[in-house]
Structure 1
Amino acid sequence: MESLQAAIEFVGGPGTLWVLAGVYFGSVILERLWAIRGNPEYDNADALCSIGLNLISSVLNLVIAILVPLALYVLVFDNLRLVGDLSLWLAIPLAFIIHELAYYWDHRLGHRVGLLWAFHAIHHSSNEFNHSTAARGFFLDGQLKGLFALPAAFIGVDPVVFIAVSVLTNSYGIWNHASYVPRLGWVDRTLMTPKMHKVHHANQPQYIDRNYSQVTLIFDRLFGSIAHIEEEPDPGLVKRVYDNNPFTAQFAGLKQLKDRMDTAGDWRDKLAYLWRPPEWSHDGICRSDCAKYGNVSPA
């Protein structure tokens, strides 16, 4: 018990960034070495762009996605928690379940709300699927997770425990972008394995807006968003992005949103693009995710 407590305190404390950085960059390097023989078509430019996007968003996220949510979590935990001294053996599974649920709904809203999709689309903008894409993102993406995690603080899950669980699940989230892991049979029907997550990154109609969870498939099954592998998933946006400059590629989602908004003349229609799902349009012409509905984008 003492060793578990010490591990939790390290991972949820001084080791947080070291663990995540070590898992991410270690995975990217090992996968690149494997690719020398196992995947000679590995796209170096795309991988470097993903790493650049990760570094940019990580720096900008320091306050928005780390310090502010943590301060809010601690505020609720210190002043409103229901249980004063929650057992570690109960706190860990509660933290996992709440984190998984928070991740699911933040992720699902990121696909179904126009402005949030403009932020999240960067994660899907790579036409490759490997460890480098795992942390490819825009700094405003995923900001609702902090709010959705507050029930854990309200119940009484210590901030250090919740952070430690988050670090471990996020580390798993890096692994499930592996390009070298094959189908895993029954495991693919239980966990968000790399092949199951590749489904989420695919642009085929049957795969769009599916498999939102990070570690398990529980909430995808519960909320009807699961998709199993049929044809091999083809990663990338429906409207593909071929920009490997991280300083410009990070705005690809916002640019596509602006392009859709510019088609509307009425300001109310323009604003509707911010909260309507990305396939919506004011005139019935699909301009995003059209493959999901069997439509063809206008030239």
Structure 2
Amino acid sequence: MESIESAIAFIGGPAALWILASVYFGSVIVERVWALWGNPDYDNKDALCSIGLNLISSVLNLVIAILIPLALYVAVFDNLRLVSEMSLLLAIPLAFLFHELAYYWDHRLAHRIGLLWAFHAIHHSSNEFNHSTAARGFVFDGQLKNLFALPAAFVGIDPVVYIAVSVCTNAFGIWNHASYVPRMGWIDRVLMTPKMHKVHHANQPQYIDRNYSQVTLLYDRLFGSVAHLAEEPDPGLVKRVYDNNPLTAQFAGLKQLKDRMDHAERWQDKLAYLWRPPEWSHDGVCRSDCPKYGALPAS
């Protein structure tokens, strides 16, 4: 038990960010070396763009996504928790279930609310699927999961335990963007393996808005959003982006949102694009994610 406590204290402490950074950049380097033999078509410009987007969002997220959410979590844990002391053997699996649920609903809402999709779309904007795309993101993407984590604090899960579990699940989330992992048989029906997560990144109609979870398929099964692998997934947005400049590529989702809003004349319709799903339009003309709904994109 002492060894588990020591591991949790280390992973969930000040080393957390260094661990994730090491996992991310280590995975990118290993995959790039593998690609010298296994994937000669590896897109270096796309990968460098993803890394640049990660660095930009990581620096800006230090306050927005780390310090403020951590302060809120600690405040709830210190003042409102239901259980004063919780054993580590109970806290770890509970933290995992809470984290998976928070991740799932943050991710699902990011796909179904126009403004949140504009923030999240950059993660899907790469036309490649590899470790470099794992942390491709926009500074305001994924912030809801910090609020959705507060029930874990309310129940009484120590912040260090929750952070440690988050580090481990996020490390898994980096691995499941691997381009070199093949289908894994029955494991693909239990865990969010690389092939199952590649389904989530695909733009084919049967794959759009599916497989939201990070580690398991538990909540996708529970909430009816799982899609199993059939034809090989084709990663990228329906309306593809070919911008490899991280300074401009990070605004691709916002630009596509603005383009849809510009078609509306009434301000009520313009504002509706912010909360309606990305395929919605004020005039019934599909301008995003059209293949999912059997419609043709607007010309």
Worse-matched range after superposition: 6-15 or 204-213: 6-15
* Equivalent AA in structure 2 for residue 81 of structure 1: R
Question: How do 1:26-175 and structure 2 match up within 5 A?
Answer: 26-175=26-175
What CA distance in whole angstroms lies between the structure 2 residues aligned with 1:243 and 1:14? 35
* Equivalent AA in structure 2 for residue 261 of structure 1: M
Question: How do 1:171-250 and structure 2 match up within 5 A?
Answer: 171-250=171-250
Measured after TM superposition, the shift of residue 43 of structure 1 is 0.1
- 2:295 maps to which residue? 295
What CA distance in whole angstroms lies between the structure 1 residues aligned with 2:205 and 2:63? 37
What CA distance in whole angstroms lies between the structure 2 residues aligned with 1:163 and 1:293? 39
For residues 198-225 of structure 1, the C-alpha deviation after alignment (integer angstroms, 9 at most, x for no partner) is: 0000000000000000000000000000
* Equivalent AA in structure 2 for residue 14 of structure 1: P
* Equivalent AA in structure 2 for residue 276 of structure 1: R
What CA distance in whole angstroms lies between the structure 2 residues aligned with 1:263 and 1:61? 33
Measured after TM superposition, the shift of residue 293 of structure 1 is 1.1
Please list every run of at least 4 consecutive aligned residues from structure 1 whose deviation after the TM superposition is greater than 4 angstroms: none
Measured after TM superposition, the shift of residue 150 of structure 1 is 0.6
Compute the RMSD of aligned alpha carbons.
0.4
* Equivalent AA in structure 2 for residue 241 of structure 1: V
Measured after TM superposition, the shift of residue 298 of structure 1 is 1.4
Measured after TM superposition, the shift of residue 297 of structure 1 is 1.0
What CA distance in whole angstroms lies between the structure 2 residues aligned with 1:142 and 1:242? 23
Gaps of 5+ in 1: none
Measured after TM superposition, the shift of residue 15 of structure 1 is 1.2
- 1:254 maps to which residue? 254
- 2:8 maps to which residue? 8
TM-score, with structure 2 as normaliser: 1.00
SS in 2 for 1:62: helix
Measured after TM superposition, the shift of residue 18 of structure 1 is 1.1
What CA distance in whole angstroms lies between the structure 1 residues aligned with 2:201 and 2:175? 15
Alignment length (residue pairs): 299
* Equivalent AA in structure 2 for residue 126 of structure 1: S
What CA distance in whole angstroms lies between the structure 1 residues aligned with 2:99 and 2:60? 22
What CA distance in whole angstroms lies between the structure 1 residues aligned with 2:154 and 2:294? 45
* Equivalent AA in structure 1 for residue 248 of structure 2: T
Identity of aligned residues (%): 82
* Equivalent AA in structure 2 for residue 242 of structure 1: Y
Measured after TM superposition, the shift of residue 168 of structure 1 is 0.3
SS in 1 for 2:28: helix
What CA distance in whole angstroms lies between the structure 1 residues aligned with 2:222 and 2:155? 23
What CA distance in whole angstroms lies between the structure 1 residues aligned with 2:124 and 2:161? 30
Measured after TM superposition, the shift of residue 294 of structure 1 is 1.7
Gaps of 5+ in 2: none
SS in 1 for 2:31: helix
Measured after TM superposition, the shift of residue 277 of structure 1 is 0.1
What CA distance in whole angstroms lies between the structure 1 residues aligned with 2:154 and 2:271? 35
* Equivalent AA in structure 1 for residue 151 of structure 2: P
For residues 231-259 of structure 1, the C-alpha deviation after alignment (integer angstroms, 9 at most, x for no partner) is: 10000000000000000000000000000
What CA distance in whole angstroms lies between the structure 1 residues aligned with 2:160 and 2:184? 33
Indicate whether 1:22 and 2:27 are aligned: no
